[in-house]
């Protein structure tokens, strides 16, 4: 009964390769630059204020600040209101996190989700040519 167990020495290299592979394959997005359009978002328990509801096409940077007491999330949906274009979770009270979107012209839907649940406080966001 001294049957040797199968060897699995390759577990670590395999995992590392996987992690690095995923990192390399995944697309990067540029952080805020001076040519970008910055939109400040203020999320509270019952409000989702955007400094602008319009932006020219290109890189739009949403700076999401949580002024409430619950953790919040911010979503940018396509015009259908279900396809997620970008989102950020875990925006704790007093914290500002960025959502960067490469936006083509068209309508979008933004949503703050105080309490990290539900459909959120939604509004239409327009990207012009």
Partner 1 sequence: MLANFLIGLREGLEAALVVGILVAYLVRTDRRALLRQVWFGVGLAAGVSIGVGALLTLGPQGLSFEAQEIIGGVLSIAAVGLITWMIFWMGKTARYLKGNLENALENAIAVGKGAIIAMALLAVGREGLETALFLWAGITSAGSSLAPIAGASLGIATAVALGWLIFKGAVRLNLRVFFQWTGVFLIIVAGGVLAYGIHDLQEAGVLPGLDNLAFDASAAVPPGSVHGTILKGVFNFSAQTTVLQAVAWFAYVVPVMWLFVRMAFHSGPPAPRSSQVPSQAPSQVPATEPQRDLAAADA
27 binds partner 1 (CB under 8 A): yes
38 binds partner 1 (CB under 8 A): no
99 binds partner 1 (CB under 8 A): yes
Number of residues that bind partner 1 (CB under 8 A): 50
- Nearest Cα neighbor of 120 from 50, 59, 56 is 50
Among 30, 79, 107, 128, binds partner 1 (CB under 8 A): 30
Contacts 24+ apart (CB under 8 A), 91-94: 91/43, 91/64, 91/65, 91/66, 92/66, 93/66, 93/67, 93/68, 93/69, 94/66
Applying CB under 8 A, which residues contact partner 1?
1-12, 14-15, 18-19, 22-23, 26-31, 33, 69-71, 82-87, 89-100, 115-118
């Amino acid at each position: 009964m001294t049957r040797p167990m199968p060897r699995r020495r390759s577990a670590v290299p395999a995992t590392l390769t996987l992690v690095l592979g995923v990192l390399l394959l995944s697309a990067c997005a540029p952080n805020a630059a001076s040519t970008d359009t910055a939109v400040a978002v203020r999320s509270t328990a019952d409000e989702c204020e955007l400094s602008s509801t319009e932006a020219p096409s290109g890189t739009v940077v949403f700076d999401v600040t949580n002024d409430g007491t619950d953790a919040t999330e911010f979503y940018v949906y396509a015009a259908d209101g279900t396809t997620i274009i970008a989102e950020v979770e875990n925006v704790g009270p007093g914290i500002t996190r960025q959502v960067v979107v490469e936006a083509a012209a068209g309508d979008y839907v933004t949503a703050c989700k105080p309490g990290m649940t539900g459909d959120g406080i939604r509004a239409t966001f327009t990207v012009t040519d």
